[in-house]
Every structure is written in C-alpha cells, then in structure tokens.
Amino acid sequence: MVAVPETLAKKAMSRTRTFIAVELAKAIREKIVDLQDDLARTGVEVKWTEPENLHVTLNFLGEVPDTELHAICRLVSDGVAGTGPFALGVRAVGCFPHVRRPRVVGGAVGAGTQELVRIHAELEGPLFDLGYRTEDRKYTPHITLGRVKSAGPTDKLTTAIQKNAGWLGGEQVVHELQIMGSELTPNGPRYTVLGRAKLA
C-alpha cells in the first residue's frame, strides 16, 4: 500500500461551498444599500448583506470537491452558450416566510425572471447528473438583503417593508454568470469568483 502524504490527502479532500449567480451592477447595489439603511432605522436587529455580496443565486451546489470545480465551470459555460444577454430588473421588497414573522428580507426580480428561471432549469439537469441535488421548491429569483436576528417584536420592520413595497432598484444587462465560492467566517460569508460563463 502506497502512503499518501498528509498535505496531498488534505488537498484531495478539499471542498468549496459553491453556487452559480448573477452579479448585481454597482448602481443597483448602491440603491439596495440606501434601502437597507432605511429599514435599519426601525431598530430591529438584522444582519444585512454586505454590498459586495449582493447577487441573484441561480443554483446552489453546496460543498463541491475542488477536483470538480473545472467541470462545473465548463458545464455552466456550455449551458449558457446559446443564451444571449438579457435585461434584469430589481424591484419591490418583501420578507419570508411571512410578513408578520420576517426571517429574511429580500428584493424581487422583475425583468429577467423568465430568463433566470429557464437558465436555472437548463443547468439543473446536468448538475443532477454530476451528483448535485435539485431544489424541492419552485425556483424564484430574488436577492437576500438581510436576515432577521431579533427575537423581539418586528412590527416596525414589517411596516417599513410594506411602505417600500413599490421600491425600484433599477435595471442592468446580464452578460455573464459567475461560479462563486463561499467561505463562511464569523463576520459572514466571503465570496470568491471561481469562474465566469459568458452569455452568447
């Protein structure tokens, strides 16, 4: 039996928390930050998503062996090879799972929803064939703006969200998807671009 050096064994077992996403334009992120600041004035404890981490997730893969990351990037590139650039609009703000008990504050996607849903579906089959699970629930494109941490009343936050129901975050043109790595830290997730899949 051949002994494998410990450093090589650790590298072979190395995994990266991975997802496929659309990066948001700077102008949209700035509008979201203004909205977050407005909602934060309610005093309800929320862990707001950092500006550089704001995105629209298409497919979440979970822990991916680093040896498979190249194949994932190739799969995504092939999957969008026939898709051209499209407009993506960010509008409205809501919360999950219920307005009276908000746990997640999210922004909705208007224009571009059909394209994102189609791309998600087209990637899901090949990803499943590689061994990555599919979501049980229907895919709905959105942006996570923050996660509620407060165990106390959230009435003021709910009221502020309802007041901003017609909020508009702007539009951008999507030219590529990003394959992202996520490292969980005490200060929140740190994202790294592992690969880019250009649209046709």
Return the bridge partners of 1, or none: none
Selecting among 70, 120, 142, 175, the annotated active-site residue is: 142
DSSP E strands, the chain: 15-23, 46-48, 55-65, 86-98, 101-109, 142-148, 168-174, 176-185, 188-198
Q: Is 120 a catalytic residue?
A: no
Burial class of 73 by CB neighbour count within 10 A (0 to 12, 13 to 18, 19+): middle
Phi then psi dihedrals of residue 91, to 5 deg = -150, 155
Q: Which of 55, 70, 98, 175 is catalytic?
A: 55
Q: Are 143 and 90 in contact (CB under 8 A)?
A: yes
User: Is 70 an annotated catalytic residue?
Assistant: no
DSSP state letter for 60: E
Active-site amino acid positions: 55, 142
